[in-house]
Structure 1
C-alpha cells in the first residue's frame, strides 16, 4: 500500500508499506476517495517535524477487499463508506459496524458518508419543521450542505449569510431564498420591532467555525428560537453572546460523539443521495491525487472563491 503522512508543518510524504490486516470486526478496503476535512487542517499547519509522522483522512469511500472473521455482513467487492481513519492511503481498515453500502451508480467522490451525516444529525436536533424561518451562517462546504438538507424540510424562508459573493451565489443556486453579507444583513433579521412582526429566524445554523460567525448567528435568532453550532471551533475561545440568555434561545451543540446516531444519520443521507435529494456534485470542486495532499490542504486554507471541497481520489 501507499499512504500519505505528515512529517512537518505543511509537509507530507507518500511512503510504501505492507497492506494492513483487518481484525475480526474490521474490513480492509481499497480506498476510492477520501475527503480533505477542515478538522485536519490544524495538524497539517502545525505538525512538529521532531515528532512522529501523523496520518490523516477520515472521510472515506472504499471497496472491500478482505474481511475479518466476524465481519460477515460484507463481501469483497462491496463499495462502502462510513467512519474511519488513516484514509489518505490506497488501503485502510474500517470498523465493520461503522460502514454502510454506497448507493449503486454513485461516483465514490460524491458518496462520502461521514460529513453529510454530521450535518444531518445536527439538523435533526433543531426541531426544524415546514414553514420555519431558517438561516445558515457560513456558506462553505458545511453551510452549503446544510442549505440542501434544510431545503427539503420546506422552510418558509431560508437565508444564507457569508461575506464571499461566490458562496452566496452558490447558496441561492442550491435553494436559499435570500443571501447577504454579514455587514449588509437587513436590520429586520437582527432585531424584532415587536413579537407579532418579528422577522428573525426561528432556527439559525452556524457553520463558520469562527467566533465572528458565531456572534452573527447569535444576533439573528429570535427569542425562544434555536441556535445550532455546527461549525468546527477548533481554535481560540468561542464566546457566547449573553443576549442569547436574555432571548431564552435554545443552543444545540452540533457535534455528535455517538457513532450509533451518526450511522443512523448516514443511512438517511445516503438514501437522499441515491434519490438525488442531496448532491455533493456542486460541493466537490477539486480532486487530487495522493501525491497532492499538501496542495489540497493549501487550497482549503486559502478558501478562494472557486474552492468548496477537495477530495483525494484513487
Structure 2
C-alpha cells in the first residue's frame, strides 16, 4: 500500500508499506476518497515534533476488500464511509462498528460521512424549526454545509455572513435570502423596523469560523432568547463571548460532540439526506487531488484561496 506522511513542516512524502490485514471486528478498505479537514491543518503546518512522521486523513470513504470476522456485517465490495484513518493512503484498516454504507448511486467522494455527521449532530441540538430565522456566520465548507442542513428544517429566512464575495455567492445559490459582509452586520442589526414588525435578528445563529472575530460577528445577530451554536473549531487560546448574550437571555450551544455513538447516529441521518439529494457535497468539493497533492490541498486551505471550499484526496 501507499501512504502520504507529513515528514516536515508543510511537507508530505509518499511511502510504500505492507498492506495490513484486518483483525477481528475490523475491515480492510481500499480508500476511494478522503476529505482534507481544517482540524489537521495545524499538524501539517508544524510537522512532526519527534522522529515519527504524521499520518493524516480521517474523513474516509472506500470499498471493503477484506473482513476480519466471519460474522462481520460487511462483505467484500461494500462501499462504506465512517470514522477512522489514516485516509491519505490507498488502504486502511477500519473498525466495523464505526462504518455505514455509502448511499446507492452517489459518488463516494460526495458521500464522506464524518464531516457532515459532525455538522448534523451540532445542528440537531439547536432549536431550528419551521419559520425560524437562521444565520450562518462563516461560509466555508462547514458554514455552507450547515446552511444546507438548516434548509431541511424549513426556516423562514437564512442569513449568510462572510467577507469572501465568492462564499456569499455560493450561499445565495444554496438558499440564503440575505448575505452580508461582516462589516454590514452592525448596520443590519441597527436597522430594526418599526414596532410591530419582525426583528431582523436570528432565532438561531450558527458560528462556523473557529476564530474570535467570528464570535464577535455572530453575537449581535442573536435575537433576544435566541440560540448561538458554536460549531467552528476553537482549538486553542481564549474564545471571547459577547456578554450582551447574557442580557438577551440567549442560549449558547457547544457544537462539538466527543461521543462517537452520537456522531454515528447523526451520520446515519445525514447520509439519508445525501441519499435523498436534500444535501449535496457537489458545490462544496471544489478540488480533488491524488496522494501527491496533499500538500497543495493544505496550502490552498491555509492561504484561504477564495475559490477553495473543500478538497478531497482520491488515491
TM-score when scaled to structure 2?
0.96
CA deviation after TM superposition for structure 1 residue 51, in Å: 3.3
User: Could you tell me which residue of structure 1 aligns to residue 8 of structure 2?
Assistant: 8
Give the aligned length. 314
Q: Distance in 2 between matches of 1:301 and 1:204?
A: 25
Q: Distance in 2 between matches of 1:186 and 1:219?
A: 7
Q: 1:24 touches 1:71 (CA, 8 Å); kept in 2?
A: no
Q: Distance in 2 between matches of 1:104 and 1:152?
A: 21
Q: Distance in 1 between matches of 2:260 and 2:195?
A: 40
Q: 1:122 touches 1:256 (CA, 8 Å); kept in 2?
A: yes
CA deviation after TM superposition for structure 1 residue 202, in Å: 0.4
Q: Distance in 1 between matches of 2:70 and 2:192?
A: 58
CA deviation after TM superposition for structure 1 residue 64, in Å: 0.4
Q: 1:9 touches 1:49 (CA, 8 Å); kept in 2?
A: no
CA deviation after TM superposition for structure 1 residue 49, in Å: 6.2
Q: 2:185 touches 2:221 (CA, 8 Å); kept in 1?
A: no
The correspondence of residues 1-314 of structure 1 with structure 2, limited to 5 A, is 1-48=1-48, 50-69=50-69, 72-185=72-185, 187-189=187-189, 197=197, 198-314=199-315
Regions of 4+ moved over 3 Å: 48-51, 190-197
Q: Do the aligned partners of residues 194 and 25 (structure 1) sit closer, same or farther apart at CA in structure 2, a change above 3 Å counting?
A: farther
Q: Do the aligned partners of residues 49 and 291 (structure 1) sit closer, same or farther apart at CA in structure 2, a change above 3 Å counting?
A: farther
CA deviation after TM superposition for structure 1 residue 234, in Å: 2.0
CA deviation after TM superposition for structure 1 residue 90, in Å: 0.4
Q: 1:27 touches 1:71 (CA, 8 Å); kept in 2?
A: no
Q: Distance in 1 between matches of 2:71 and 2:227?
A: 41
CA deviation after TM superposition for structure 1 residue 50, in Å: 4.2
Q: 1:25 touches 1:70 (CA, 8 Å); kept in 2?
A: no
CA deviation after TM superposition for structure 1 residue 196, in Å: 5.4
Q: Do the aligned partners of residues 263 and 195 (structure 1) sit closer, same or farther apart at CA in structure 2, a change above 3 Å counting?
A: farther
* 55-64 or 192-201, which deviates more: 192-201
Q: Distance in 1 between matches of 2:260 and 2:313?
A: 24
CA deviation map 1:215-240 (0-9, x unaligned): 11112101111000000112332111
CA deviation map 1:57-94 (0-9, x unaligned): 00000100111126510001000000112111000011
Q: Distance in 2 between matches of 1:31 and 1:258?
A: 25
Q: Any idea what SS the aligned residue of 1:222 has?
A: strand
Q: 1:190 touches 1:219 (CA, 8 Å); kept in 2?
A: no
CA deviation map 1:249-294 (0-9, x unaligned): 1111101111111111111111111111100000000000001110
Q: Do the aligned partners of residues 138 and 71 (structure 1) sit closer, same or farther apart at CA in structure 2, a change above 3 Å counting?
A: farther
Q: 2:117 touches 2:266 (CA, 8 Å); kept in 1?
A: yes
Q: Do the aligned partners of residues 266 and 154 (structure 1) sit closer, same or farther apart at CA in structure 2, a change above 3 Å counting?
A: same
RMSD value over aligned CA atoms? Answer: 1.6
CA deviation map 1:34-58 (0-9, x unaligned): 0000000000011246431110000
Q: Distance in 2 between matches of 1:98 and 1:277?
A: 23
Q: Any idea what SS the aligned residue of 1:105 has?
A: coil
